[in-house]
Chain A
């Protein structure tokens, strides 16, 4: 059976083989072959859940909550469960998952496979730090239970392993008591890109949410001004309600209006409107938990505004000590290419970089541009600059990332490849992402 799949950035699309088993027995039957990959919500920026050489196994039916232990603060779920369903279950019981990406459709299996980050990676870490135990199915190994202490090598390869070790069946994750029923959000203005990095650095310890939005949609002097957004949990009895009828992200939908709003000329105006909407208010604003956890809900149109050709995102982890020199070189490279950037954000990060994990000490610097030959050329040149400054690119965000750049940026990529081949000599699991990066 074939169906249309498109990555969220619309960089990769086509007709691909798929199956959607709804029983465990059928799941096992379906994966007895070479060339398979699990597919959760299908909303990854890149083609991590499909490939011309693989059958995508949709895991939507495996979305059940298996166990919940409030005393020891953990929950065990099947990998196809969405963050939205977990929000609906956990919030009334006074718990939450402290690290989660911005849309409720995303599945726990996807969070594990991409080892995602959340609202404040600096203080919370990355998703793998929550995973206590998982089970996965591999046709040559059967059902494997793995944790930091049992089958630790398989656990290591699976968390942040982009789905290449098998179909994740279940995951036991640590949860945290909710510190409040809403998040008090406060915005500050910054007048340039370097100032934004400094401000995020200064405020990173004190908030549950911190990021900076910057305007690089215009060229010339004084660009990069932006708004630092901070948020902290506050007590109260409102705001914990889950929205179950939110609009779904559906990059694969064919009949859909995708107006090309982010043209080079229109982009500065769109950014001006956004800056105005997010200008610092005289009083902090209390944001409901659902909106805080899933800020992309209601803003799905943003992805459509790049038109049918979509966009490319480069998310860079930049070492702290490289920031000052990097900003100058980055702005000058942008100026020389004359490429306006639709979206720019900065977050603080902290952790150890291993295998293919997007982790380390410094800043998460993200830019999103329309997918065009000029922008791709700019980003390809930027890759060299990023390598020079010791930056690493987030594999799950960048459809354009070349294997030679990944090899320069991820010192343990060969170790990952070697361990994967030892575990699975036939390399049964693959995706367009893994094939592009020669994993």
Chain B
């Protein structure tokens, strides 16, 4: 199998790269900094004896066709595309500087959609193909915190719904996760109301689900119960919550 991980340098993306390498996948690792990608690529190639191509791109400014060309140039036919890169900020709770709002929308939604679009002709008729997207539990119901981030993730979720429908006539599969807290740099030092799971656990579950035709699912699954309660909370109560 040949997989592309977009956002591979740290957190869930790195854990996913390790899990895939352990399962014998040849990899193209994409992130913004070559200094993070090179050591990871060398480590995975040495430990798991797989082909690993580290490719640095700034997703906020890159031409997605260049990402696709680099990946196909490195490995040939691609089987799996993982869109892991994301960005959130504690400032995202009200009016934001325009540049930051643009970054949140671009990295969490626009760049992901454009990269998928660039790979779609290669993937849609691949019987072993998978496109995997990472959303957020924050997108379950709009609230004052993480407003732009959550909206972008909700947009990505909607795009995956359309993608799944499109691919129903093809052989490629999609999986999309509304991800809860993960123990990464994004949650470091935060007082979280619910436990964070190790990225390695999330990575293992994502890999186990490859090949499934799967709409949006919560990870971990118990977030479904929490977010269902939140979703159906009457407005008169919800509006008073400081969440």
Residue ranges of A at the interface with B (Cβ–Cβ < 8 Å): 1, 19-26, 61-62, 64-68, 78, 89
Contact = CB atoms under 8 A, between A and B. Distances in A.
B43 A23 contact: no
Range of interface residues on chain B?
Answer: 10 to 19
A68 B46 contact: yes
A26 B188 CA distance: 13
A205 B10 CA distance: 47
B39 A22 contact: no
Contact of B188 (A20, A23, A25): A20
- Secondary structure class of chain A's binding surface, majority of residues: mixed
A31 to B, nearest CB: 15
Given A19-B188, A22-B14, A78-B39, 15 more contacts: A1-B189, A20-B185, A22-B184, A23-B36, A23-B185, A24-B35, A24-B36, A25-B33, A25-B36, A26-B185, A62-B39, A64-B43, A65-B46, A66-B39, A67-B42
Contacts of A22: 9-11, 14, 184-185
Given A22-B10, A23-B10, A89-B46, A64 B184 contact: no
B169 interface: no
Nearest to A76: B42
Contacts of A1: 188-189
B40 interface: yes
Contacts of A21: 185
B30 to A, nearest CB: 14
Contacts of B188: 1, 19-20
B47 interface: yes
Interface of B: 9-11, 14, 33, 35-36, 39-40, 42-43, 46-47, 184-185, 188-189
A24 B188 CA distance: 16
29 contacts: A1-B188, A19-B188, A22-B10, A22-B11, A22-B14, A22-B184, A23-B10, A23-B33, A23-B36, A23-B185, A24-B33, A24-B36, A25-B33, A25-B35, A26-B185, A62-B39, A64-B39, A64-B42, A64-B43, A65-B43, A65-B46, A65-B47, A66-B42, A66-B43, A67-B42, A67-B46, A78-B39, A89-B46, A89-B47
B40 A64 contact: yes
B66 to A, nearest CB: 22
A4 to B, nearest CB: 13
Nearest to B11: A22
Please name the 10 residue pairs, one residue from A and one from B, whose CB atoms are nearest each other, closest first: A1-B189, A64-B43, A22-B10, A24-B35, A64-B39, A22-B185, A65-B43, A23-B36, A66-B42, A65-B46
Nearest to B42: A66
Most chain A CB atoms below 10 A, which of B40, B184, B188 = B188
